[in-house]
Amino acid sequence: MTLPGGFQPVKSSTRTLEVLEALAASPQRRSLVDLARALDIPKSSLHGILRTMAQRGWVESDPTGTRFGLGVRALQVGAAYLTSDDTMGLLGGVLDDLSRQFGETVHLGRLDGAHIVYLAKRESVHPLRLYSAIGRQLPAHATALGKALLAERPDDALDGLLTWPLPALTPHTVTDPDALRAELAAVREHGYAVDREENTEGIVCFATAVPLAAPATDAISLSVPVARLGAAGEDRIVAALRRAVDQVQAARGLLSTA
């Protein structure tokens, strides 16, 4: 593959990154044969890549030496990314405030192509809660975070981000192109997005984009089980999210004039 400007990626580097991405996307360790088949890399070449990565701590194998997963070096680099990100420092207090107000799960997410990646999380205080993990990647169209950020972009940009047909995570996921565009238009009109059991059945999520860039790349959300939402729950949550965005904008203004 040749990229714009005539740049051609280095094959060995591309393969190494493909291995890292494949292992990161898998909930369990993967065998050499499985990886070779999935990535279309000859087993002899892949074995050398894995041994090199294991020597540097990027990959670990099970006791049999036949199944591979991410190593501690990957965790260290991921943690360094979060530590060095200015947005994390700016929004940490806002996430804490939302968590204290509602006792529900709060997320900071970033748009990454057609997906949302969780950058930060505040856990719900309740046993019944949304399962999630920092670094988890989800289809943007199936989350309130993703829809809040997709709505920041014009409709004609969607085809460059999303691949049709869209996957359905639950029976409630919006997958029809016209229906999604209509929903994004509503997000632009009202200033917030809603995921009504589209990511996880029984969970409703509300999100607003954080305007630190144009178009925004980050959003904050609050997730609550349907059973705890209540008649006035949506209005209270949306009002709190809007106040949170106002706080971020005010803090950003202070930082830019300091």
pLDDT tens per residue across span 21-69 = 999 888 899 999 999 999 999 999 999 999 999 999 999 999 888 899 9
Report mean pLDDT in 10-residue bins for the chain, 258 residues. Answer: 66 92 89 94 93 93 91 88 79 93 95 94 85 88 97 92 94 96 96 96 96 92 92 89 89 54
pLDDT, residue 257, reads 42
pLDDT, residue 67, reads 94
pLDDT, residue 253, reads 63
pLDDT, residue 4, reads 56
User: pTM of the prediction?
Assistant: 0.82
pLDDT, residue 82, reads 77
Rounded CA-CA distance 54/77 in Å is: 15
Give all strands of the β-sheet with 59-61 in edge-to-edge order: 30-31, 67-70, 59-61
DSSP string, the chain: ---GGG----HHHHHHHHHHHHHHH-SS-EEHHHHHHHHT--HHHHHHHHHHHHHTTSEEE-TTS-EEEE-HHHHHHHHHHHHH-HHHHHHHHHHHHHHHHH-SEEEEEEEETTEEEEEEEE--SSSS-----TT-EEEGGGSHHHHHHHTTS-GGGHHHH--SSPPPSSTT----HHHHHHHHHHHHHHS-EEEESSSSTTEEEEEEEE-SSSS--EEEEEEEEHHHH-TTHHHHHHHHHHHHHHHHHHHHHHHHH-
pLDDT, residue 173, reads 97
pLDDT, residue 83, reads 78
